[in-house]
Structure 1
Amino acid sequence: MKISVLINNYNYQHYVSDAIDSVLQQSFPVNEIIVVDDKSTDKSAHILDKNFAANEKVKLVLKDKNEGQLSSFNGGFIASCGEIICFLDADDLYKENYIAEVVKFYQEHPECDFLFCSAEVFGNEERIASCYNNTRDLGYSRIATLYKKAWVGHRTSTVSMRRHVLEKFLPLPQLEDWRTRADDCLVFGASIVGARKFYLAKPLVMYRAHGNNNHYGQKQKRTPEYLDKYKQAVDNLLGFLAEKMSYPSNLYEQAHIEFRTIPKPNEQEFNIYESIIHKSDLLVLNKLSRFLSIYIHFISRGGFLSLVRIKLLWLRNKIQRFTLKLYRLPQSKTNTTA
């Protein structure tokens, strides 16, 4: 099983060597490290050439134009040859057993197409960034992603996937939309092309918090204008991928089938699929049969109490809205009379 690690770098001269060294020092050796420098304005290119040009495992892709993170993903993937592609931001690190754990997981779970793990945050803050409490089979998520923008993944450096998955959606053309936060393209793209995803509940990656992280939450203020632009970028990406995969417009009819690919769905996942079915234009009997399908699966996998809680919250909200209407009605009449 050949392993490629793709490192994207932009102006991280103080960190990129450490990132590469963390891969070279793995207990399970990788086949290649592809380092893409996105025309950094600092001394990154000089440092990379000086320290790693002679290393046979390190392939340097020094771009002559700055085009952003998605462009680096595109170029790095094209230059790679691994069966498993692992991603690493230039300011993060792999723990020494990361690759060994990843290889073991893919070998033991041949159905796994996309794997992400927990991360240990260090630097300006210290904590474990986890998505779930336990290792999970998350099933398929193309319908949840297309209709509810479900984001089934984690930070760039925690992500790996099989080559055949990436071949279905990379390279992507929307470079300007994804100069930063291009890990969304990896997460959304893998879901839409049909990757079965798994989560490994081990903090095998070191995520460096240093105040200048080149991601959406740090580099851009969440102004309404920026959020609108981001939403449009996501819509464009999902639409492009759906068209590329030739999906029919009524893919939502299979939502109940996709939900049942999750062995132990949680409340959030249940709510997503229930909402997709509820908002569809299916006939009443077809909706009911699909509701029954997801209810039975959820309850049979230990979700009975969660389902009761969901429905009680739904009932409480209904009562609150009804009470609010009753409260406003007399006031409205009084104001009209006045």
Structure 2
Amino acid sequence: MDRITIVICNYNYERYLATAIDSALQQDYAATHVIVIDDGSTDGSRAIIEGYGDRIQSVFKSNGGQVSAYNHAVEIVDAEFAIFLDSDDLLYPSAASEVMQVFGTGDWAKVQFRLDVMDSAGNTTGAYVPNSSAPRNCDTLLRGGWLYPSPPASGNAYRVSALKQVFPIPEAIADRYGADFYAIYGTALVGPVADIPKSLGGYRVHNTKSSNVSFANSEQINKAPKAFTMRWQILRTTAASRLQIDLPEAFYDFSHEKALFCSGVYHAPVATRWRWMMRDSHDYLHTIVANPFWSLKKKVGTLVLSCLCLVPYSPLSDFVVRYINNPLARRRAVEQ
């Protein structure tokens, strides 16, 4: 039986850490090994980790950021397959067995699965990520600059030999996080990606109010998109030096562009909204019209909704922004 390692990278998440570790230990796949890497936590995380004794492999390191933790994990994992579970997320009991079943069907570099969106208390919200499946030609699309639909870190299982072709990633002071970006898109340049169209875990979002507009778990909507741009450039450099693959200078991703769209028009006067749409919306509109992952119906619907942001009535415009940006606002609107 092939072994799989669940790696939990933790920093100051003592509130959620035990839930993540328990979910990893409760996998119904017998050959599952659990490693917890604590990245210099200053809360009570160490005591929680030590409480599991030899049921897990514990690694305590000085704080270096998520990229540093991933680099260390890829170096020490001795199994051929791994899931990187964020310490505030969880896996359902069959996650490891189901991804291993898929790995057995081909030479997959990555197997991804959906995650149910949870609130900070662990209650499911009815939403899940991602909302689109990864196509079989992820590699070709990435070479054209398109970031394919992928779940966050915890929804991905990797062939470790593929990760080793991408990692270690330079531990830049300017961006110590976003290690899952390099794993998700870097491995897709190494080999094919498989998609399991069901939820095998939970993704904790700490801002789950339908009135929020945010980029993933980022409090600052402008911060994460800028980090994405930096990460793409690092991925380009890595792909060129290690894989001899030339990626384009620009990338296309609707999640990235809708964050910029929201920052440009949310709570803005009507003149500002019109000015943004006339001058700054080219990339946003391109990720809708030319999106290779969307149906025509979804493209038309998103374009129509986006145009509603131009109406003079601000409450409608702001509602549309929340509806486009926040899946929870979308779901609750349907329920009402």
TM-score normalised to the size of structure 1?
0.66
Question: Unmatched 5+ residue regions in structure 2?
Answer: 209-213, 249-286, 304-336
Contact persistence 2:205–2:217 (CA under 8 A): no
Residue 19 to residue 228, structure 1, CA distance change in 2 (3 Å) = closer
Residue 255 of structure 1 aligns with which residue?
A: none
Residue 248 to residue 121, structure 1, CA distance change in 2 (3 Å) = closer
Structure 2 distance, partners of 1:202, 1:147, is 28
Structure 1 position 62 matched with structure 2 position 60: yes
Residue 289 of structure 1 aligns with which residue?
A: none
TM-score normalised to the size of structure 2?
0.66
Structure 1 position 114 matched with structure 2 position 115: no
SS of the counterpart of 1:198?
Answer: strand
After superposition, residues 74-93 of structure 1 pair within 5 angstroms as 74-93=71-90
Structure 2 distance, partners of 1:222, 1:175, is 22
Counterpart amino acid of 1:54? D
Residue 198 of structure 1 aligns with which residue?
A: 194
Residue 155 to residue 121, structure 1, CA distance change in 2 (3 Å) = same
Contact persistence 1:8–1:72 (CA under 8 A): yes
Residue 220 to residue 249, structure 1, CA distance change in 2 (3 Å) = closer
SS of the counterpart of 1:180?
Answer: coil
Residue 6 of structure 2 aligns with which residue?
A: 5
Shift of residue 140 of structure 1?
Answer: 3.5
Residue 274 of structure 2 aligns with which residue?
A: none
Match of 1:156 among 153, 156, 161: 153
Structure 2 distance, partners of 1:155, 1:163, is 18
Structure 2 distance, partners of 1:60, 1:121, is 28
User: Aligned-residue CA RMSD in angstroms?
Assistant: 3.3
Residue 276 of structure 1 aligns with which residue?
A: none
Residue 39 to residue 97, structure 1, CA distance change in 2 (3 Å) = same
How many correspondences in the alignment?
254
Contact persistence 1:36–1:62 (CA under 8 A): yes
SS of the counterpart of 2:35?
Answer: strand
Contact persistence 1:34–1:61 (CA under 8 A): yes
Question: Unmatched 5+ residue regions in structure 1?
Answer: 251-267, 274-297, 314-338
Residue 88 to residue 30, structure 1, CA distance change in 2 (3 Å) = farther
Moved over 6 A (4+): none
After superposition, residues 290-329 of structure 1 pair within 5 angstroms as none
Contact persistence 1:140–1:195 (CA under 8 A): no
SS of the counterpart of 1:14?
Answer: helix
Structure 1 distance, partners of 2:78, 2:142, is 28
Structure 2 distance, partners of 1:30, 1:121, is 28
Residue 94 of structure 2 aligns with which residue?
A: 97
Contact persistence 1:120–1:205 (CA under 8 A): yes
Counterpart amino acid of 2:43? D
Contact persistence 1:152–1:187 (CA under 8 A): no
Residue 270 to residue 245, structure 1, CA distance change in 2 (3 Å) = farther
Q: Percent identity?
A: 23
Counterpart amino acid of 2:9? N
